[in-house]
């Protein structure tokens, strides 16, 4: 019933009980660009009639297509975590691409011995390095990873929320921020399973978007902020610039009437 009825989700500024293309968008913005290039290249270089590894590749790809197809058919649009089982299979599939390049080709290129294999080898190493740096730069906020095509994690909430970005994981960092800035009271609209009061104590004021605004410090989870904006409940913050964002998932505002 949940799968057919859907679940209210956010995508590209809109709310709905499900989009068939939700997981395509999530995959494209949450997957490192080098990995997307590798996937595309693997299909370009694949010549089924001449490939001795056809069976191995099909064993890897059939579950990928089945799982992705199932994701497209469901109305439960809650995050790329539903696609996680395909990534180990895809990365093993991509390893076949690496067989086409060798360091010998790259060394020959360095000696002015031109070869397309050498050029592709250099591109391959650049993409691998990009993938590594892109993954390390997001530390420790791995859940909030978004690729450079959309401007990185700081722009992620414009595209998708929920477990793609915000699962309440930054509440402890919120506590650190409140203590560091000597904030007496923090009005919190929190999305997650944690307990903000446990971390903030008497400084915590529970809040939801349908309440009447009052002056003070606000900590609003990105998921609730985008959902409420779609309904118009946070329009009073439309022209208020966030002081900062905690771990990419909690927006901090100081509102004055």
Beta bridge partners of 218: 187, 253
Structure tokens at 184: 């007496």
- DSSP single-letter state for residue 227: H
Does 2 have pLDDT greater than 60? Answer: no
Domain extents for the chain?
Answer: 2-158, 166-255
Q: What's the pTM? A: 0.88
- Predicted pLDDT of residue 1: 43
| Cβ atoms of 252 and 246 closer than 8 Å | yes
**Backbone phi, psi, residue 93, to 5°:** -60, -40
Q: pLDDT by residue (tens digit) across 150-192?
A: 999 999 999 999 999 999 999 999 999 999 999 999 999 999 9
What is the rounded distance in angstroms from the CA atom of residue 237 to the CA atom of residue 15?
19
Does 115 have pLDDT greater than 70? Answer: no
Which three-class secondary structure string do you get for 94-154? Answer: HHHHHCCCCHHHHHHHHCCCCCHHHHHHHHHHHHHHHHHHHHHHCCCCHHHCCCHHHCCHH
| Exposure string over 33-54, b if 16+ CB within 10 A, otherwise e | ebbeebbebbeeebeeeeeeee
Structure tokens at 72: 């497209």
Which pLDDT band holds residue 252 (cuts at 50, 70, 90)? very high
The better pLDDT of the pair 115, 79 is held by: 79
What is the rounded distance in angstroms from the CA atom of residue 182 to the CA atom of residue 228?
28
Which three-class secondary structure string do you get for 161-192? Answer: CHHHCCCCCCHHHHHHHHHHCCCCCEEEECCC
Q: Mean pLDDT across the stretch 191-203?
A: 96
What is the rounded distance in angstroms from the CA atom of residue 250 to the CA atom of residue 242?
10
């Amino acid at each position: 019933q949940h799968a057919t009825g859907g679940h209210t989700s956010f995508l590209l500024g809109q709310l709905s009980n499900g989009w068939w293309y939700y997981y395509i968008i999530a995959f494209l913005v949450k997957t490192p660009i080098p990995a997307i290039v590798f996937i595309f290249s693997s299909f370009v270089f694949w010549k089924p009639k001449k490939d001795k590894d056809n069976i191995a590749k099909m064993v890897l790809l059939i579950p990928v297509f089945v799982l992705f197809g199932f994701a497209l058919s469901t109305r439960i649009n809650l995050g790329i975590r539903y696609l996680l089982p395909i990534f180990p299979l895809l990365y093993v599939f991509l390893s076949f691409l690496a067989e086409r390049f060798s360091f010998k080709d790259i060394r020959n290129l360095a000696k002015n011995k031109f070869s397309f294999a050498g050029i592709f080898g250099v591109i391959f190493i650049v993409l691998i390095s990009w993938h590594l740096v892109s993954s390390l730069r997001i530390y420790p906020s791995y859940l909030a990873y978004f690729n450079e095509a959309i401007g990185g994690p700081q722009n992620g909430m414009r595209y998708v929320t929920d477990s793609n970005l915000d699962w309440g994981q930054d509440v402890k960092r919120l506590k650190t921020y409140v203590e560091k800035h000597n904030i007496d009271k923090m009005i919190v609209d929190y999305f997650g399973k944690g307990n903000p009061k446990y971390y903030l104590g008497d400084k915590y004021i529970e809040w939801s978007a349908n309440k009447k605004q009052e002056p003070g410090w606000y900590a609003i989870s990105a998921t609730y902020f985008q959902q409420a904006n779609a309904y118009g409940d946070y329009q009073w913050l439309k022209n208020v610039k966030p002081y900062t964002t905690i771990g990419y998932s909690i927006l901090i505002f100081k509102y004055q009437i």
